[in-house]
Structure 1
């Protein structure tokens, strides 16, 4: 039986833990004590339209407690990737691999630099989950998982595909993930910060003309930054795509809204911040992405969770933006 280190104790970590536990030995590794305690006492819980699924998992707050693993599944927030990559390196077998399904731009590059391209894989999913309590999530919507590139390490890719399909996930392997990554980024940059700042579920963006105008504008900007890099998006109409995501996940609470409600830092740097930074360097105007980035950072600053005001003036996530420039301009697909 495959042994998996699940790095991420939030909603997505709970979702994947529940689905993977019946077919693998799952170790949930993280720093959120309440989630680890809940998983240890009662197992993980996932509420779906069909009912409630539960699964026992092993838990650890220290990578030294985890036996050697075949796969590290990275589901932490983008700003936590450095630590997750170090922990993945510690818990993996010499031939073990890591897969990131995180939001935004940058996490894969961090993982690849730590583990090498042969052992680090990137994926994208449109699945969503809302955290109900520590160790308990509600499924926010099913969706495929895209993995790639197919040519990097076919044997390891196929092992991951087989595992995820046995767990009930729909999986597709692609040679170039850039279009899928930026397609999801169009939706995330348009939906996440607005639903967080106005404290509304995803579907409310379609019900409120003022919020929808803003979301539409952000979607167009992000799509233009992708096109300027020669990245083909998986849709013709970015506004229509975002509208469809809002309809399909109308009752869902975006991950950034959940972060706001829990008083935690957000992934704004890897979303709107990264898009604004790349747009600036490529000469593509992104005033709405920039404004939302600054607005969210201001809220975080007020709550004592973000960079200092002087750092704000230097622009969105400088190190991350530099990484993404190198990646995007090379057209690297993951």
Structure 2
């Protein structure tokens, strides 16, 4: 065990889909006590055969606890909050009676406001986290890892810094690099920028990132998305550099050309997406700040239309 063990003896993953199950499995295989709280089919498969973690080296079965009841978060001193953005506040309210004031919640979610929304309902500290990982859940009980698997975390609360360093040590010893950043909100906005550039287009076309950027017309649309996000971020007090954001956008597809966005996966399965908290958030925030966002607004509307068509079909 590493030096961070006394801080985090019991780890719970709330909303254990592909992302949460991956990070939970990495911690469990390093010897930590982890409980995944997820959907019944996923939980039942894990109870039968363990979590099957598919990585480049092959498939590994990871033994860990799995529950469907949110009450399983009881007594956890570290919680990975991985639910979809629309569910953040409802799930935080459900968790609140089971967590002590000394627990620490990491929001491993898309969007820039989930930690603040969760913190309104929880008795403990909630830390925003930026997740960089390509995963999918091809079947219940199975998580496939395609690339990266690192986190950026941070908080302006000086009292939390030793615990954040302990989180970084905990994950680092489990093979998950974690950076404690003084500008985690800037990092969240940069991640939001990437999600806005890729997610909706991948979803509407049901195409992976590599196929998207192969078309100059799509590259042009993605650039316009990024320009709008940067303009909104700057109006909101964030110092995003346009050239750096465009470079990050260009680098993502070559790093994971076969990846379908999480929005594309949700749409294909008929599940509600997080589009309201991605391009939709930019459209709403832009309107509030007086910044025009026609491309983000259009992509948001098209994904909403595709969702409605799936529900009606």
Answer whether TM exceeds 0.5 for this pair.
yes
1:144 matched to 2:130: no
Equivalent residue in structure 2 for 1:226, among 224, 233, 242: 233
1 CA distance for matches of 2:149 and 2:72?
33
Equivalent residue in structure 2 for 1:197, among 184, 204, 217: 204
1:240 matched to 2:227: no
What secondary structure does 1:203 align onto? helix
Distance 1:294-1:215 versus aligned 2 partners, 3 A rule: same
Q: Deviation at 1:235?
A: 6.5
Aligned 1:104-253 pairs, distance under 5 A: 104-115=111-122, 119-149=125-155, 151-233=158-240, 236-253=243-260
1:101 matched to 2:108: yes
Residue by residue over 1:172-216, the C-alpha shift from the partner in whole angstroms, topping out at 9 and shown as x without a partner, is 111221211111111100100100110001111111223222222
Structure 2: any 5+ residue segments left out of the alignment?
Answer: none
2 CA distance for matches of 1:27 and 1:254?
26
Counterpart of 2:286 in structure 1 is 279
Cα pair 2:73 2:95 within 8 Å, conserved: no
Q: TM-score, normalised by structure 1?
A: 0.85
Decide which moves more: 88-97 or 128-137: 88-97
Cα pair 1:131 1:258 within 8 Å, conserved: no
1:57 matched to 2:94: no
2 CA distance for matches of 1:218 and 1:254?
16
Q: Deviation at 1:285?
A: 0.9
What secondary structure does 1:266 align onto? coil
Q: Deviation at 1:94?
A: 4.0
Counterpart of 1:13 in structure 2 is 20
Q: TM-score, normalised by structure 2?
A: 0.91
2 CA distance for matches of 1:215 and 1:270?
18
Cα pair 2:270 2:311 within 8 Å, conserved: no
Cα pair 2:202 2:261 within 8 Å, conserved: yes
Residue by residue over 1:141-186, the C-alpha shift from the partner in whole angstroms, topping out at 9 and shown as x without a partner, is 1153111125251232223222111211111111221211111111
Q: Deviation at 1:112?
A: 1.1
2 CA distance for matches of 1:181 and 1:67?
29
1 CA distance for matches of 2:152 and 2:241?
12
What secondary structure does 1:47 align onto? strand
Q: Deviation at 1:47?
A: 1.4
Cα pair 1:147 1:171 within 8 Å, conserved: yes
1 CA distance for matches of 2:174 and 2:100?
22
Residue by residue over 1:259-282, the C-alpha shift from the partner in whole angstroms, topping out at 9 and shown as x without a partner, is 011110000011011111111111
For this pair of structures, how many residues does the alignment match?
303
Structure 1: any 5+ residue segments left out of the alignment?
Answer: 306-334
RMSD of aligned Cα (Å): 1.9
Decide which moves more: 164-173 or 188-197: 164-173
